[in-house]
Structure 1
Amino acid sequence: MSPQEPPARAHHRVWPRRLPYAIRTPRTSLWDNLVVSARRYPDKPALVFFDLSTSYAELLAQAERLAAHLRAQGVRDGDRVLLFMQNCPQWVVACYAVLRANAVVVPVNPMNKADELGHYITDPDARVALCAADLAGELLKADAGLPEAQRLRHLVVTHYADAIGPAAEVPPAWQAWLGARHERPALAGGSVATWAEALSSTAPLPEHNRGPDDLAVLPYTSGTTGLPKGCMHPHRTLMHNAVAGALWGNSTAEAVSLLVVPLFHITGMVSGMHTAIYGGATIVLMPRWDRELAGRLISRWRVTHWTNIPTMVIDLLASPSFERYDLSSLVYIGGGGAAMPQAVAQRLLELFGLRYAEGYGLTETAAPSHSNPPDDPKQQCLGIPFMSCDARVVDPDTLRELPVGEAGEIVIHGPMVFDGYWKRPEATAAAFIEIEGKRFFRSGDLGRIDEDGYFFLTDRLKRMINASGFKVWPAEVEALMFKHPAIAEACVIATRDAYRGESVKAVVVLRADARGKTSEADILAWCREHMAAYKCPREVAFADALPKSGSGKVMWRWLQERELERTEPARAQ
Structure 2
Amino acid sequence: MQKPTRPHSQFLPKRAPDQLVLPETSLWYNLEISAHRYPDKIAIRYLDDAITYRELEAQATSLAGWLQQTAGVKKGDRVLLFMQNCPQFVISYYAILRADAVAVPINPMNRTEEFKHYVTDAGARVAICADDLVTGVAQAMSKLDSADQLQHLLVIRHGDALQLRFELSEDAPPAWLTTAHPLTADVTRWNVALGAELQPGPHTAGPEDMAVMPYTSGTTGFPKGCIHTHRSVMHNAVGGAIWTGSGSESVVLSVLPLFHVTGMQYGMNGPIYTGATVVMLPRWDREVAGRLISRYQVSHWTNISTMVIDLLASPNLTHYDLSSLRYIGGGGAAMPQAVAERLLDQFGLSYLEGYGLSETMAPTHFNPFDRPKLQCLGVPVFNTDARVVDPATLRELPPNEVGEIIVSGPQVFKGYWRKEDATREAFIEFEGRMFFRTGDLGRMDDEGYFFITDRLKRMINASGFKVWPAEVENLLYKHPDVQEACIIGTRDAYRGETVKALVVLRAHARDKTRAEDIIDWAKANMSAYKYPRVVEFVDALPKSGTGKVLWRQLQEAENVRNGHA
Q: Which bracket does the TM-score occupy, shorter chain normalised?
A: 0.7 to 0.9
SS in 1 for 2:447: coil
CA separation of 1:371 and 1:154: change in aligned 2, threshold 3 A:
same
SS in 2 for 1:172: coil
Aligned residue for 1:134? 132
SS in 2 for 1:123: helix
2:49 corresponds to 1:48? no
SS in 2 for 1:447: strand
Matches within 5 A, 1:261-272: 261-272=256-267
The counterpart of 2:97, out of the listed 78, 86, 99, is 99
Letter in 1 for 2:427: F
CA separation of 1:371 and 1:254: change in aligned 2, threshold 3 A:
same
Structural RMSD (CA): 2.7
- Looking at structure 2, the residues matched to 164 and 17 of structure 1 have their Cα atoms a distance apart, in angstroms, of 41
Q: Retained in 1: the 8 A contact 2:62–2:199?
A: no
The counterpart of 2:421, out of the listed 426, 430, 449, is 426
Matches within 5 A, 1:196-345: 196-345=191-340
Letter in 2 for 1:127: R
The CA deviation at 1:171 is: 6.0
The counterpart of 2:74, out of the listed 76, 82, 89, is 76
- Looking at structure 2, the residues matched to 8 and 430 of structure 1 have their Cα atoms a distance apart, in angstroms, of 29
Q: Which deviations, in whole Å up to 9, do the C-alpha atoms of 1:338-378 show, x marking residues without a partner?
A: 11111211122122221100000000011000000022111
The CA deviation at 1:200 is: 1.1
SS in 1 for 2:187: strand
Aligned residue for 2:60? 63
Letter in 1 for 2:55: E
Letter in 1 for 2:104: V
- Looking at structure 1, the residues matched to 20 and 260 of structure 2 have their Cα atoms a distance apart, in angstroms, of 24
- Looking at structure 1, the residues matched to 308 and 451 of structure 2 have their Cα atoms a distance apart, in angstroms, of 21
2:174 corresponds to 1:172? no
Aligned residue for 1:39? 36
Q: Retained in 1: the 8 A contact 2:63–2:198?
A: no
Aligned residue for 2:181? 182
Q: Retained in 1: the 8 A contact 2:14–2:370?
A: no
- Looking at structure 1, the residues matched to 321 and 343 of structure 2 have their Cα atoms a distance apart, in angstroms, of 13
Higher relative contact order (CA 8 A, sep 6+): 1
CA separation of 1:544 and 1:49: change in aligned 2, threshold 3 A:
closer
Aligned residue for 1:439? 434
2:369 corresponds to 1:374? yes
Q: Retained in 2: the 8 A contact 1:137–1:185?
A: no
SS in 2 for 1:126: coil
- Looking at structure 1, the residues matched to 237 and 288 of structure 2 have their Cα atoms a distance apart, in angstroms, of 27
Aligned residue for 1:460? 455
Which 5+ residue runs of structure 1 have no aligned equivalent?
A: 1-6, 475-492, 501-526, 548-553, 555-573
CA separation of 1:350 and 1:545: change in aligned 2, threshold 3 A:
closer
The CA deviation at 1:8 is: 7.9
SS in 1 for 2:31: helix
Which piece of structure 1 moves more, 171-180 or 147-156?
A: 171-180
The CA deviation at 1:21 is: 2.1
The CA deviation at 1:494 is: 11
- Looking at structure 1, the residues matched to 137 and 560 of structure 2 have their Cα atoms a distance apart, in angstroms, of 35
Q: Which deviations, in whole Å up to 9, do the C-alpha atoms of 1:42-99 show, x marking residues without a partner?
A: 0000000011110000000010111111112111111000000000011000100110
Letter in 1 for 2:84: Q
CA separation of 1:212 and 1:543: change in aligned 2, threshold 3 A:
closer
The CA deviation at 1:225 is: 2.4
- Looking at structure 1, the residues matched to 142 and 499 of structure 2 have their Cα atoms a distance apart, in angstroms, of 34
The counterpart of 1:416, out of the listed 411, 416, 425, is 411
2:152 corresponds to 1:154? yes
Which piece of structure 1 moves more, 87-96 or 166-175?
A: 166-175
Q: Retained in 1: the 8 A contact 2:403–2:443?
A: yes
- Looking at structure 1, the residues matched to 559 and 419 of structure 2 have their Cα atoms a distance apart, in angstroms, of 36
- Looking at structure 2, the residues matched to 338 and 223 of structure 1 have their Cα atoms a distance apart, in angstroms, of 16
- Looking at structure 2, the residues matched to 164 and 60 of structure 1 have their Cα atoms a distance apart, in angstroms, of 18
The CA deviation at 1:435 is: 1.1
The CA deviation at 1:184 is: 1.6
- Looking at structure 2, the residues matched to 171 and 22 of structure 1 have their Cα atoms a distance apart, in angstroms, of 47
Aligned residue for 1:515? none
CA separation of 1:98 and 1:317: change in aligned 2, threshold 3 A:
same
2:4 corresponds to 1:13? no
- Looking at structure 1, the residues matched to 5 and 393 of structure 2 have their Cα atoms a distance apart, in angstroms, of 18
Q: Retained in 1: the 8 A contact 2:47–2:166?
A: yes
Letter in 2 for 1:159: R
Number of residue pairs aligned between Structure 1 and Structure 2: 487
- Looking at structure 2, the residues matched to 256 and 230 of structure 1 have their Cα atoms a distance apart, in angstroms, of 31
The CA deviation at 1:176 is: 1.4
The CA deviation at 1:167 is: 2.1
Matches within 5 A, 1:341-352: 341-352=336-347
Q: Retained in 2: the 8 A contact 1:383–1:454?
A: yes
- Looking at structure 2, the residues matched to 328 and 171 of structure 1 have their Cα atoms a distance apart, in angstroms, of 23
Letter in 2 for 1:175: P
Letter in 2 for 1:420: G
- Looking at structure 1, the residues matched to 276 and 148 of structure 2 have their Cα atoms a distance apart, in angstroms, of 40
Letter in 2 for 1:409: E
CA separation of 1:137 and 1:433: change in aligned 2, threshold 3 A:
same
The CA deviation at 1:545 is: 8.6
The CA deviation at 1:143 is: 1.6
- Looking at structure 2, the residues matched to 497 and 174 of structure 1 have their Cα atoms a distance apart, in angstroms, of 33
The CA deviation at 1:130 is: 0.4
Matches within 5 A, 1:473-492: none
CA separation of 1:494 and 1:63: change in aligned 2, threshold 3 A:
farther
The CA deviation at 1:459 is: 2.6
Q: Retained in 1: the 8 A contact 2:297–2:325?
A: yes
Letter in 1 for 2:311: L
- Looking at structure 1, the residues matched to 83 and 279 of structure 2 have their Cα atoms a distance apart, in angstroms, of 17
CA separation of 1:208 and 1:494: change in aligned 2, threshold 3 A:
farther
Aligned residue for 1:383? 378
- Looking at structure 2, the residues matched to 494 and 209 of structure 1 have their Cα atoms a distance apart, in angstroms, of 55
- Looking at structure 1, the residues matched to 561 and 33 of structure 2 have their Cα atoms a distance apart, in angstroms, of 63
Q: Retained in 2: the 8 A contact 1:22–1:389?
A: no
SS in 2 for 1:110: coil
The CA deviation at 1:334 is: 0.3
Aligned residue for 2:349? 354
SS in 2 for 1:328: coil
The CA deviation at 1:495 is: 6.7
CA separation of 1:95 and 1:543: change in aligned 2, threshold 3 A:
closer
- Looking at structure 1, the residues matched to 116 and 132 of structure 2 have their Cα atoms a distance apart, in angstroms, of 17
- Looking at structure 2, the residues matched to 71 and 260 of structure 1 have their Cα atoms a distance apart, in angstroms, of 31
Q: Which deviations, in whole Å up to 9, do the C-alpha atoms of 1:274-326 show, x marking residues without a partner?
A: 00000000000001100000000000000000000011111111111111100
The counterpart of 2:402, out of the listed 407, 410, 419, is 407
Letter in 2 for 1:259: S
- Looking at structure 1, the residues matched to 410 and 5 of structure 2 have their Cα atoms a distance apart, in angstroms, of 17
Which piece of structure 1 moves more, 9-18 or 28-37?
A: 9-18
Matches within 5 A, 1:522-537: 537=553
Q: Which deviations, in whole Å up to 9, do the C-alpha atoms of 1:227-254 show, x marking residues without a partner?
A: 1100000000010100000100011100
CA separation of 1:97 and 1:292: change in aligned 2, threshold 3 A:
same
Q: Retained in 1: the 8 A contact 2:166–2:173?
A: no
